[in-house]
Structure 1
């Protein structure tokens, strides 16, 4: 009997609520602009289009973040750039959702596809809205699924807060 060599896919979802009077229609334009992730996700330093037609499936963006880590051997902090090229797979302004896949990266993501959707909390929007970020991926070397979800959760919470703050300025 052959040993199983295929790892089970990871699947997960995190969500962040935005309070009343925020509606899904108000939040969607912030996510719909696929190349402005750096404006809303605090850990991303830069995000820009590298190929394709803006806002259309097939468009590719480059995202990067500067990570500072302590080096025990040198006693100094080391800075590195973590980056990813991501392809917009679908975008639906009626359902207020988009999906994308990571094409290339130095983060350790393999076969990573994510969907972001903005939904009214109670179906009619009276009680605010929420952003859901779901994913399916191969396991990430050196991570547990719980660790990855725990990384995404505060990232999305920060994104939601930044969007909420921007809406207050409008």
Structure 2
């Protein structure tokens, strides 16, 4: 074996590692995939088994905020999502990961945006962030005007306010 300078060896090792890691990173960062919904945790979180194999993955629907399970309309929101997607093949378009490691994604069923559907039926709010009304503000406005779901009684409590006052449901 010939002499290799430490700097050159480190450079070669780094190139080898990057070469090996790139395909794995690309596979894990797939931005769009299809899978079957195996479980619904609450009104905005479901578990999807990827069609390409592997265990079900927790997916939080991006752009919405559904009531906590122990909050008024929480069980109803979960039941609505169960009725719509459980056992169905859905498309998952990953946007990012949250602080809990869940995939934050837009989820669609046969071309229908499930987040838009949930908000439009009054089962969730369009997610507000930094004073912006969120991606489903139009659907929320329509659900409020029609007094659907959690908007029937006029002033439903946002989940983040509920958690501040009562803590998590668990």
Name the structure where helix makes up a greater proportion of residues.
Answer: 2
TM-score normalised per structure 1: 0.28
TM-score normalised per structure 2: 0.28
User: Which of 1 and 2 has higher RCO (CA within 8 Å, sep 6+)?
Assistant: 1
